[in-house]
Structure 1
Amino acid sequence: MRTIIYLLIGIVFGITMFKSEAASWFRIYEMFKFEAFHMYGIIGVAVITGVIGTFLIKRFRVRSFYGEPIKFYPKEKKVKRYLFGGILFGLGWALAGACPGPMFTLVGAGFTPILVVIAAALAGTFIYGLLKDKLPH
C-alpha cells in the first residue's frame, strides 16, 4: 500500500513540476541568464516550505510513515566540498537543462531525449560510488 501512496505522491509532484514550468528548459535557461524571476520564485517557495516543514517536524516531533521519529543530524562544515559539489551540480543543470527532479517529469511528459541525460546521471553516480573512497575528504 505504501508503494502506491509513494507512486501517487510522485505523480502529483511530476504534474506540479510540469504545470509550474519548473521542468521547462526555457525557464531554466531564463534563470541562468538572470532574465526572469519565475524559477527563483519556485526555488524560494520550496526553501521557505522546507524551513517551515523542518521547524514543524522538530517542534511537534512528527513521526515518519513507519512510525519512527524523524531525526536531523548536523552537516559537516567542509565548505570547499560543498562549493565544488554545488558548482558541478549547477554546471550539469545548466548543460542538461534539468536537475534530477524534472528529468523524470520530462520523461513522463514525452521528452525522450532526456533519457540520455538520465543515463549520464546514473553513470556519474555509479562512477562516484566507485571513486568515493579515493576522493579527498
Structure 2
Amino acid sequence: MKVIEKKAEGFVCDAPNTQASGEKGLALVKYLILGILFGIVFVKAEIISWFRIQEMFRLTSFHMYGVIGSAIVTGIISIQLIKRLGIKSISGEKINIPTKEFRKGQIYGGFIFGLGWALTGACPGPLFAQIGSGFTIIIITLLSAIAGTWVYGRFADKLPN
C-alpha cells in the first residue's frame, strides 16, 4: 500500500478528504478561529517554548511528555468513540478511518523528524504559534518543513517502504 500514488493529474493522497460538500468563503472563518484558539492554547501551555522542548529531549522535565501523552490518550479515546458509535462529521457524513500498516520507512522518518525537532525546538504543530508570538526566526524552520515535504513528495516512490 503506497501513501502517495503518481497519477496523470499529479500526486494523489491515499487518504483524501472525501467530504461531499465543499466549503467556501466565510464558512472557512470557523477554521481560522479554531486555529487561533489552538495557537493560544499552545502558547499558554508553553508547548511552543524552545526551553520546554529542550527539557524534553534532555529528559529533565515531564511537562512535554505529559502534553504528548494526554494528546495520545485523547486521540485513542476519540477514534474508538468515532468507530464504535458511528459518529458522523459535522456535515452529517460517515467518517471512514482506514487501517494503517507499519512500514520500516516510518522509523527513518520518525528519526529525521525528531532530529529536526530537537535541533530547531519546533515541530510542525506550533510553528505558526511561534511565528505569531514574535519568534520570526522560525520562518526558516517553516520553509525547511515545506521543502522537506516537497522532497518527500518528489521522491516518495523511491524511498524504502
Normalising by the smaller structure, the TM-score range is over 0.9
| Cα RMSD (Å) | 1.1
Alpha carbons 2:131, 2:139 under 8 Å: kept? yes
Match in the other structure for 1:136: 160
What corresponds to 1:51 in structure 2?
76
Runs of 4+ in 1 over 3 A off after TM superposition: none
Cα offset, 1:77, TM superposition:
2.6
1:116 aligns with 2:140: yes
Alignment of 1:94-109 (within 5 A): 94-109=118-133
1:60 paired residue number: 85
Q: Which has the higher strand share?
A: 2
Structure richer in helix, relative to its length: 1
Report how far residue 67 of structure 1 moved: 2.2
Q: Where does structure 2 lack aligned partners over 5 or more consecutive residues?
A: 1-25
Answer whether contact 2:105 2:159 (CA < 8 A) is retained: no
TM-score, reference length from structure 1: 0.94
Match of 1:85 in 2: 109
TM-score, normalised to structure 2, is 0.81
- Matches of 2:119 and 2:91, distance apart in 1: 38
The share of aligned pairs that are identical, in percent, is: 51
Post-superposition shift, 1:53?
Answer: 0.9
